[in-house]
Amino acid sequence: MIGTLARLAAIGTAGAAYLIGVRPQLQQWGATAAEAMEPLPGDTLIAGPRFATTRAIMIAAPPSAVWPWLAQMGEGRGGLYTYESLERTVGLGMRSTDHVIPQLQELASGDTIRLAPVGGPDGLVMTVDRLETPGLLVLRTGRPATDGAGEDAPEALRAGDYFAGGQAASWALVLRDLDGATRLLSRWRMTWAPSAAADLFNGALVEPLHFALEEKMLRGIRDRVERVNARPVEPLEASDLP
């Protein structure tokens, strides 16, 4: 009995340490506290997210050099610039290109982008909700919040159709010009039909997996851009960011 209580206490302590000390760091990887709190385009698509992240990275090139890599993202396009071995393990495997593909640069509102190959996890398709070249790309699942649902509608309905498993999400990629360098912000907001099983699945599996893939994606974009557009840029401290 004492041993069981000790193990439960250890699990509880580890869980609390993760929620208090580790999880916030993963959710705001690379971003300042001000960036994490700042309203961004696309936030209203998921008005009350059950899971939200804001991550960021500096890239030593202007937004015009970064944008082409965002415009060609997705399955059957440029890939997601992340861990291909990890993607294959979870059924998201796709090849990521190391060069800009001119014929994939014509992206428009309403276009769809697959986050998994055909035959992979169902529903991993996002729609371009808003696009401002070369500074903003907002993707969403389902229909916009304004389609048949007012501001008083439940958040899940306003988010539109769910992913398989009862999930809906928005993803905003914001590029800011800082003296010829780019501050790339990535905000993901997701909700799902509440249940203990869904909460456990998303907290224990989806959140850590999402961090691993997105952190590598941001670094993958930076490395590809800087390889093509190499030039020295003074590193910015957090206090220098807007």
pLDDT digits (tens, 9 = 90+) for 71-89: 999 988 999 998 876 656 6
Residue 135 shares a structural domain with residue 215? yes
Do 45 and 3 belong to one domain? Answer: no
Q: Average of pLDDT values for 35-56?
A: 94
Residue 216 or 92, more confident:
216
In a shared domain, residues 20 and 92: no
Residues 95 and 142 in one domain: yes
In this structure, the answer to whether residues 130 and 192 fall within a common structural domain is yes
pTM, rounded to two decimals? 0.77
The whole-number pLDDT of residue 201 equals 80
* Residue 118, domain CATH: 3.30.530.20
Interval 215-242: pLDDT, tens: 999 999 999 999 988 654 454 454 555 4
**Is there a single domain that holds both residue 24 and residue 112?**
no
Write out the residue range of the structural domain in which residue 7 sits.
1-30
> How is residue 18 written in tokens?
């993760």
pLDDT at 181: 96
Position 61 scores a pLDDT of 96
Task: Return all residues near 159 (Cβ < 8 A) that are at least 6 apart.
Answer: 45, 46, 47, 140, 141, 142, 145, 168, 169, 170, 191
Same domain, 11 and 79: no
Query: Are 144 and 221 within one domain?
Result: yes
52, 185 Cβ separation under 8 angstroms: no
What is the residue-averaged pLDDT of the chain? 78
% of the chain with per-residue pLDDT over 70: 68
pLDDT for position 124: 77
**Residue 65 and residue 25 share a domain:** no
Examine residue 24 and say whether the peptide bond preceding it is cis (omega within 30 degrees of 0).
Answer: no
Indicate if 25 and 42 belong to the same structural domain. no
* Predicted local distance difference test score (pLDDT) of residue 18: 46
DSSP-assigned letter for residue 80:
-
The answer on 139 and 111 residing in a single domain is yes
**Contact 163/123 with Cβ under 8 angstroms?**
yes
63 and 35 in one domain?
yes
- Number of domains forming the structure of the chain: 2
